[in-house]
Amino acid sequence: MNISQRKLWLLVIIALAVIITITLVAAPNNNKLNSGSTYGRYADGYGAWYEYMSSRRTPLQRWQKPFSKLIDRQATEPVTYIQIYSKLHFKQSKLISSQLTLSEKDWLKKGNILARIGIYQPATAAPFNSVLSQGDRQIKIATTRRKTTPDKILLGDRFGAVVWEEKIGKGKVIYATTPHLAANAYQDSTDNYELLAELVSENKQIWVDEYIHGYKDKGTIAQEQKEDLLTYLAQTPLFPLFIQLLIIIVVAVIVAFRRFGQPVIINNAVVDNSMAYIEALSGVLTKANCTDFVVTTIVKDEQLKLQKKLGLGQNLVDEDTLITAWTQQTGNSPTKLRQLLQVSKSKRHLSDRELANWVQKWQEVLSVISYQ
């Protein structure tokens, strides 16, 4: 199929626009990726708190594998594991806000501590920005969400708990409704940093979950590639490239073929010159209202057909001879045939309906001979 150069350029421009749009929408956003991460340097990151913990000689260790891998590890002493959920993990935090797996509970019973920051709770009538007292500290909070029936309140107000604790055997779970408890935005408010540091520093080893923020070590990436290549691609910049390639292929197929299946061969219509001449002539005669010419032509043709059936040869005979032979061989009255023959002698113009009736009567006369 031939495509004009103008159409080809238009398709190229459309394809480029689609690619650019997908890239802008699907490409990873570092700001969102680092939200709640100790690698994050934006206001909602935890990079400053990570450095704060190092300066007070309680350094954090970054865990870049699934939480289950830490649970399966045979640790010689209890550890603290911190998970900071950003807005990107809103649905996930909503699901885990009141759920712990059996393996997590068993792990906690051994004296381990799990801190989950940014857990979903229903919104209350509390003001969004507030300052809550915790001993001598003044903690800045930016959320209306509260836990209304906590086991042990660590930070709260009359609307409920912002930070609370739940004991599980020898261990415990620390929950916080705000994902920004010690975010970079509160660098000028060291009370926030001190509160979170105090909550998680009971054990010597403190691990912070970076896996949920998309950071993975080489071993984890290699294993996940083997387990599910498509899932891995969906979490990397390769997935948008795959989608772009797929769209380009689809557009190319549509442009190249415009259909699916075998092409249909169209046969050229055969022109009947005789029929075309007759149709053209009839159109001219109709516009000129020349019914007398049509009647004269038809009566000669019909009379010749009748003669052949009556055995009178192929040369036209006079009317009396034709009528006599018709009467003798059919036994019908000569009046009908005589009236048909007389029409051609009259000079009166016939209407379309009268002409059609006249031709039909000729067919009836011929059909009588056919049944003899």
- The residues, any chain, with a CB within 8 Å of residue 191's CB and separated by 6 or more, are 134, 137, 138, 139, 140
| pLDDT above 90 as % of the chain | 35
Could you say which of 182, 217, 236 is where a domain stops? 236
Identify whether 258 is part of a domain. Answer: no
Residue 295 sits in the same domain as residue 167: no
How many domains, in total, are found in the chain? 2
* 78 vs 363, more confident: 78
At 247 the pLDDT is: 83
Residue 92 sits in the same domain as residue 178: yes
Residue 229 sits in the same domain as residue 174: yes
Q: How many helices (H) and strands (E) does the chain have?
A: 15, 9
- The residues, any chain, with a CB within 8 Å of residue 366's CB and separated by 6 or more, are 302, 305, 306, 309
For the chain, give the longest Cα–Cα distance.
Answer: 139
Average pLDDT over residues 98-113: 89
Identify whether 164 is part of a domain. Answer: yes
Least confident residue range of 50-64, 161-175, 192-206, 269-283: 269-283
Identify whether 259 is part of a domain. Answer: no
Q: Is the confidence at residue 1, as pLDDT, over 50? A: no
| Band (4; pLDDT cuts 50, 70, 90) | low
Q: Is the confidence at residue 21, as pLDDT, over 50? A: yes
What pLDDT, in 10s, does the model give residues 298-346?
777 777 777 777 777 777 777 777 778 778 777 777 777 777 777 666 6
Q: How far apart are CA 99 and CA 120, in angstroms?
A: 12
Chain-centre distance for alpha carbon 218: 34
Q: Highest mean pLDDT: which of 115-119, 275-279, 362-366?
A: 115-119
Residue 156 sits in the same domain as residue 280: no
Q: How far apart are CA 295 and CA 346, in angstroms?
A: 10
Residue 114's CB is within 10 A of a number of other CB atoms, namely 24
Q: How far apart are CA 53 and CA 59, in angstroms?
A: 5
Could you say which of 188, 215, 236 is where a domain stops? 236
Residue 220 sits in the same domain as residue 351: no
Q: How far apart are CA 135 and CA 193, in angstroms?
A: 14
At 161 the pLDDT is: 95
Identify whether 42 is part of a domain. Answer: yes
Could you say which of 236, 265, 300 is where a domain stops? 236
Q: Is the confidence at residue 5, as pLDDT, over 60? A: yes
138: three-class secondary structure by DSSP: strand
At 115 the pLDDT is: 96
Residue 161 sits in the same domain as residue 228: yes
Tell whether the torsion through CA atoms of 326, 330, 335 and 341 is positive or negative.
negative
Q: Where are the alpha helices (DSSP H) in 180-317?
A: 190-200, 218-227, 229-234, 238-257, 273-288, 291-310
Identify whether 327 is part of a domain. Answer: yes
At 291 the pLDDT is: 62
CATH number, position 172: 3.40.50
Average pLDDT over residues 59-76: 89
At 259 the pLDDT is: 55
**Structural domain for 313, as ranges:** 274-370
Kindly report whether the global pTM for this prediction surpasses the value 0.85: no
Compute the mean pLDDT over every residue in the chain, rounded to the nearest whole number.
79
What pLDDT, in 10s, does the model give residues 139-174?
999 999 999 888 899 999 999 999 999 999 999 999
Q: Is the confidence at residue 73, as pLDDT, over 50? A: yes
Identify whether 197 is part of a domain. Answer: yes
Residue 295 sits in the same domain as residue 365: yes
